Structure 1
Amino acid sequence: MRAIVVLAACLASILASGDVLELTDSNWEDSIKTHEIALVKFYAPWCGHCKRLAPEFDKAAIKLKANDPPVSLIKVDCTTEKETCGKFDVKGFPTLKIFRHGAAAQDYDGPRDADGIVKYMRGQSGPSAKELKTQAEFDKFTGGDESVVIGFFEGESKLKDSFLKVADTERDRFAFGYTTNKDIIKKAGYSDDVVVYNPKKLHNKFDPNEFKYDGNYDTDKIKQFLVHETVGLAGIRTQGNLFQFEKKPLAIVYYNVDYIKDPKGSNYWRNRVLKVAQEYKRKVHFAVSNKEEFSSEIEQNGLGERKDSDKPIVVILTDEGKFPMDNEFSIDNLKAHVEEVISGNLEPHMKSEPVPEEQGDLKVAVGKNFKELILDSDKDVLIEFYAPWCGHCKQLAPKYEELATKLAKEDVIIAKMDATANDVPPLFEVRGFPTIFWLPKNNKKNPMSYNSGREVKDFIKFIAEHSTDGLKGYDKAGKKKKTEL
């Protein structure tokens, strides 16, 4: 009887807190083991990162509650539930962990937006590809509000083997299902095929509702198909699927995209983007994104002054830079802006510090002089991207200055750039500080990440080994050459 009372109290506590379940020290042990798979957020109410994650966590919980099998999203307040948080060695907030049947299985290292959380956790639950044995199961799997990947196989085949291998490696990114039921296969009209089904909310007259893979059983080709050929002419770009929108030129149209609260308004603007996109197939890529979700990106792309506009705002990203559209959104204006960009008639938007009036041995690159100083120079270049507040950058600074002084007479540029005050060119991927790249003078389009030591001798050894024409004062091993008498 006591066990029933305890269980009832646990359930009452859980149900009272909505789609995200809130557990405490008193009910943790009894409750966590009832969940086949759960994502637990250990947080503190005062934590800024926790506050930003909270609405995304809430939205993800709604979708994952209906998953098959259900995925529970749970939160634990570490300012009050210190026993539970201490048990899992929580030292920072938020800390996210995946639990299976009550046991901590792994740390969560996936996206922090709702769509990304949903995709990642769906990939962690059940088999990597769900077998759809009945028409009802098939209809339920393909009738949700997310795109799904379906394999149709009447028997054993090489394509099926490859499909299951892809599902194992890509389960964090896509939802996979397959069927061998002949009636389902006949009704669908596919056989030994891989097909991506888009949800009804995204159906339009410009794209097919289903994307069929036409390649062989090569797993890499199947992955490329899923990543690059299934979003349509103007896909819904979120923080969770950025990997599907890496091809350039990419025209991003920001507005209040929300297919839950405002599907009609979302489609109204997207259809206008699609009308332009159909004229530039494989020449320019298009996407629509939610303005609130990408507010910081909007600022970075030179559209900060227009982010409160009632109409969509646009930027086109190319290998040369960012091209925000100044004119008010319309089909004609969007098309005209695309034409201007691909014709090379516009200068890219550039966040930049003033160009230094004088340069020392250590060159200072900024947004406005980067092309001339770094990319167009006839010398090899070592470039450091740093942040003024970065402790590691501060430790490196005197050594980097010394390096520049020692190599001042060599055919190499030693340069630095404040990546917080200047736009980093698209050619470089900078995710932390300091990040250092090597650019040979004859191949500036393929920068090499510098991952060696950070003492002056380490830099010299690397540069001596990789310099295009060799160094005058050092041999290939980085040893100082003897001066002839």
Structure 2
Amino acid sequence: RKISYSSSVFSLVQARPSLLTGAGFCTENPSNPNPIFLPLWDMAVGFSPLSAAALCYCALNRIKRCNFGSWSAKVAREGFPQFQLKGSEAAKPRSPGEMAGGRRSVLVVVCVVLLATGGVCEVLELTDSSFQSTVNEAELAAVLFHAPWCPHCHSYLSDVFSPAATLLGSEDITMATLDIDAAKEVQTKYVIQQVPSIRLFRKGQMFPYEGPRQQVGVADLVMYLREERDKQGLEENPVITLTNDNFDDITTSELILVEFYTDLCVPCQRLEPIFADAARQLQRETPPIRLGRVQIPDQMKVAERFPLEGYPLLIFFRRGTQYNYTGPKETASGIVEYMRQQAGPSSIPLEQTVDVKRFINRRAISVVGYFHEDTDSVLLREFRESGNLVRTEMELGHTHQRGVAGGMGQDPDTIVIYHPVHLVSPWETGHSVISSPPSNASQLRQLYLEHARPLVGQMTTGNHDNLYSHRPLLVAYYDIDWSSDGFKATQYWHDLVASAARDFITSGVVFAIANEEDFLDDLRGVGLSDWGEDVAVTLYAPGPLKYAMTEELSRESLTSFIQDYLDGELVPHFSSEPVPKPVKGALIRKVVGSNYLSEVGNTKKDVMVMLCRPSLPDCREAAEFYKKLASQFHGVKNLVFTEMNVALNDPPVGTDISSLPSFLFSPRGSHDIAPVTPRPKDDADLAFFLKYKHYS
């Protein structure tokens, strides 16, 4: 078989070097009928991942005869010929034979001496009946969930998963597949929503798959699975089961993250293996960070003490004090990183003036407290507690040294918020001083957030909810690059916006720049995703209303745009996708901005609508139980389920979309569209609401 060579010479060798003692290329020389053998080990170019997989497949199956022409056939029958290397030049084989044909090509020649004694790893086809016993017995099982109608599943199975299974040979890794169309019980139990999808199992316990997602090569999957196999101490689940009796004792520890869940909650089921994996990683911290779970309704005595607005609800406790978890829930690494931020001191001691200067001279918001020598003052205690409330937004430091405060030009018992140095324009000082700070952590946090924004700050996906939720807000979107390569261009546009913003300091408008790649949905929402200029400018106003600047950015055009808004002369942008064609039998009807009122305010039917933004994890979780609810009520007369993506469609002015997802209901005989209150936690809450509204 002729296989052309390309990149990635060592993908085979890295995957399983012990398989082969000889493998290489055989090249033709027009002036010499004898081929020259070039060992694979000395080549600078090599096989593509698929070619490497094919080569190892031959090795593992102990192929004795390869159809590479008479010479390669002879080698396959009689063994690897003797050869010597002189520098980088390969000598001729002693008994080369003749090459079949006179083609100018590169032939892969496989000369195999098997050092491994194992056989070929079989990809098991699992069913509902065989699944549990198989994963219960496996030290490590990688299960590929697929569907017969999915073309990506077929290509991934044939090009990556099966060759990886072959490379793994008889290693202690079980490779298996399961057809979700045929095995509905397993699909339901493990909440498999997408295909192809891989899950890992150790002695029956499911673990999240965090390996390569794209078809980047067989070797990547093989190496990832070997790393997973070699991990130690993963059999036991370190998540603590919290009950009415032990909850208070355990949550008074240094730091613990608690999940409130129900058994029937689909997002809870998906979070379970991720939560357990995060617990395993965090228990290795010094000191360990613990994770626990509270099952609802079994532990209702505990649950009644907390505002359980949705499941799963994550709350963490620091020495008994409760804090809302605002980090990611989709990966174990995201939970781990967030909880690591919550560990350690909330404020860093700064002993010298040089320590303070080093602390504030960074690309982060820094808060420094200058205090008297009393190390146990109420203000200092509340300052430290305020640091716990803003760990993900800014960093705090403090000093008791009077000389340090004087060296920084500050009085004792003063708190100063320092803006990131690269965002300070020529028209501002770069810091805000709180000269009489309140002795209350929550009030301090509020003051930090009010003063944390420079004249023109940078809005990110991590700070837009807290620092840039204010309206009106003007944002300039462009390619932000603070590295040495892009610093000048990035700073140029920032300072241009700042030059206009300084004229509107008392207007109430907040100004920011943002990386356009991080907010493509927002740009689509105002019709600027294909804007041809370097910078796209949008103004968000209460209502919610949106205004798109349609002129090329300059100081004059920006100043005119802002003034026109303040004078009420701008026309708001209304976003709407094209009206979709009706889909017969659809569980949920998609509505858009232009037909929202006619579809949702339908006086002939009861209509439920979910307003969502698919990029938000909470919206993706709600979409799952909303679909489950629609399926439960499918066929009920005069009841319609609808949904609208508010990233691409604007609801009517006055509709509150500050907290998503949002559920609204319009009863028959009325054009009123009112929010569902209290906010439903899951499909059971929505079902209870609908049964009361629809059947009453």
Q: Where does residue 405 of structure 2 map in the other structure?
A: 185
Q: Secondary structure at the match of 1:151?
A: strand
**Residue deviations 1:12-71 (CA, integer Å, cap 9, x gap):** xxxxxxxxxxxxxxxxxxxxxxxxxxxxx98423359x9xxxxxxxxxxxxxxxxxxxxx
The AA in structure 2 aligned to 1:145 is: R
**Distance in 1 of aligned mates of 2:685 and 2:290:** 40
Q: Where does residue 432 of structure 2 map in the other structure?
A: 211
Determine which of 355, 378, 392 is the counterpart of 1:158.
Answer: 378
Are residues 224 and 392 of structure 1, via their aligned partners in 2, closer, same or farther at CA, if it must alter by over 3 Å? same
Q: Secondary structure at the match of 2:229?
A: helix
1:78 aligns with 2:307: no
**Distance in 2 of aligned mates of 1:141 and 1:383:** 49
Q: Secondary structure at the match of 1:334?
A: helix
Q: Where does residue 110 of structure 1 map in the other structure?
A: 327
TM-score by length of 1: 0.64
Q: Secondary structure at the match of 1:225?
A: helix
The AA in structure 1 aligned to 2:642 is: K
| RMSD of equivalent CA atoms | 4.5
Q: Where does residue 45 of structure 1 map in the other structure?
A: 212
Q: Where does residue 367 of structure 1 map in the other structure?
A: 593
Q: Secondary structure at the match of 2:426?
A: coil
Whether the aligned pair in 2 keeps the contact of 1:119 and 1:175 (CA below 8 Å) is: no
Q: Percent identity?
A: 20
Whether the aligned pair in 2 keeps the contact of 1:146 and 1:199 (CA below 8 Å) is: yes
Q: Where does residue 128 of structure 1 map in the other structure?
A: 346
1:270 aligns with 2:437: no
Whether the aligned pair in 2 keeps the contact of 1:129 and 1:177 (CA below 8 Å) is: yes
Are residues 283 and 397 of structure 1, via their aligned partners in 2, closer, same or farther at CA, if it must alter by over 3 Å? same
**Residue deviations 1:135-155 (CA, integer Å, cap 9, x gap):** 232222222332211111114
**Residue deviations 1:437-474 (CA, integer Å, cap 9, x gap):** 3589999898745316548872246549xxxxxxxx84
Q: Where does residue 285 of structure 1 map in the other structure?
A: 510
Are residues 121 and 238 of structure 1, via their aligned partners in 2, closer, same or farther at CA, if it must alter by over 3 Å? farther
**Distance in 2 of aligned mates of 1:297 and 1:422:** 8
**Residue deviations 1:306-360 (CA, integer Å, cap 9, x gap):** 1x63x21111222333322222111222223333444163132303342899xxx
Q: Secondary structure at the match of 2:383?
A: helix
Q: Where does residue 390 of structure 2 map in the other structure?
A: 170
Q: CA deviation at 1:274?
A: 1.2
The AA in structure 2 aligned to 1:245 is: Y
Q: Where does residue 656 of structure 2 map in the other structure?
A: 427
Q: Secondary structure at the match of 1:273?
A: helix
Whether the aligned pair in 2 keeps the contact of 1:302 and 1:349 (CA below 8 Å) is: no
Are residues 456 and 129 of structure 1, via their aligned partners in 2, closer, same or farther at CA, if it must alter by over 3 Å? closer
Q: CA deviation at 1:131?
A: 1.1
Are residues 276 and 220 of structure 1, via their aligned partners in 2, closer, same or farther at CA, if it must alter by over 3 Å? same
Report matched runs for 1:257-336 at 5 Å: 257-261=480-484, 262-281=486-505, 282-306=507-531, 309=533, 311-318=534-541, 319-336=543-560
Q: Where does residue 436 of structure 1 map in the other structure?
A: 663
**Distance in 1 of aligned mates of 2:498 and 2:601:** 36
**Distance in 2 of aligned mates of 1:264 and 1:186:** 35
Are residues 366 and 263 of structure 1, via their aligned partners in 2, closer, same or farther at CA, if it must alter by over 3 Å? same
Q: Secondary structure at the match of 2:358?
A: helix
Unmatched runs of 5 consecutive residues or more in structure 1: 1-40, 51-75, 407-413, 465-472, 475-485
**Distance in 2 of aligned mates of 1:120 and 1:341:** 39
Q: Secondary structure at the match of 2:518?
A: coil
Whether the aligned pair in 2 keeps the contact of 1:227 and 1:244 (CA below 8 Å) is: yes
Unmatched runs of 5 consecutive residues or more in structure 2: 1-207, 217-221, 236-271, 293-324, 583-587
Q: Where does residue 262 of structure 2 map in the other structure?
A: none
Structure showing greater Rg: 2
Q: Secondary structure at the match of 1:224?
A: helix
**Distance in 1 of aligned mates of 2:336 and 2:512:** 21
**Residue deviations 1:66-114 (CA, integer Å, cap 9, x gap):** xxxxxxxxxx963330234574479679x765442496756998369xx
Q: CA deviation at 1:367?
A: 0.6
Q: Where does residue 422 of structure 2 map in the other structure?
A: 201
Whether the aligned pair in 2 keeps the contact of 1:355 and 1:368 (CA below 8 Å) is: no
The AA in structure 2 aligned to 1:437 is: L
Determine which of 613, 621, 630 is the counterpart of 1:397.
Answer: 630
1:248 aligns with 2:465: no
Q: CA deviation at 1:269?
A: 0.9
Q: Secondary structure at the match of 1:368?
A: helix
Q: Secondary structure at the match of 2:226?
A: coil
**Distance in 2 of aligned mates of 1:457 and 1:145:** 48
Q: CA deviation at 1:172?
A: 2.9
Q: Secondary structure at the match of 1:304?
A: coil
**Residue deviations 1:229-270 (CA, integer Å, cap 9, x gap):** 211121111222222100111111012222233332222111
Are residues 415 and 134 of structure 1, via their aligned partners in 2, closer, same or farther at CA, if it must alter by over 3 Å? same
Q: Where does residue 644 of structure 2 map in the other structure?
A: 418
Q: CA deviation at 1:175?
A: 0.6
Q: Secondary structure at the match of 1:177?
A: strand
**Residue deviations 1:278-300 (CA, integer Å, cap 9, x gap):** 23335211110122333444334
> How many residues were matched structurally?
380
Q: CA deviation at 1:382?
A: 4.9
Whether the aligned pair in 2 keeps the contact of 1:133 and 1:179 (CA below 8 Å) is: yes
Are residues 458 and 126 of structure 1, via their aligned partners in 2, closer, same or farther at CA, if it must alter by over 3 Å? closer
**Distance in 1 of aligned mates of 2:363 and 2:223:** 31
Q: Secondary structure at the match of 2:638?
A: helix
Q: Where does residue 71 of structure 1 map in the other structure?
A: none
Whether the aligned pair in 2 keeps the contact of 1:438 and 1:448 (CA below 8 Å) is: no
Report matched runs for 1:406-485 at 5 Å: 416-419=642-645, 422-423=648-649, 425=651, 427-429=656-658, 431=660, 435-437=662-664, 448=677, 450-451=679-680, 454=684, 458-460=688-690, 463=693, 474=696
**Distance in 2 of aligned mates of 1:330 and 1:201:** 21
Q: Where does residue 572 of structure 2 map in the other structure?
A: 347
Whether the aligned pair in 2 keeps the contact of 1:437 and 1:449 (CA below 8 Å) is: no
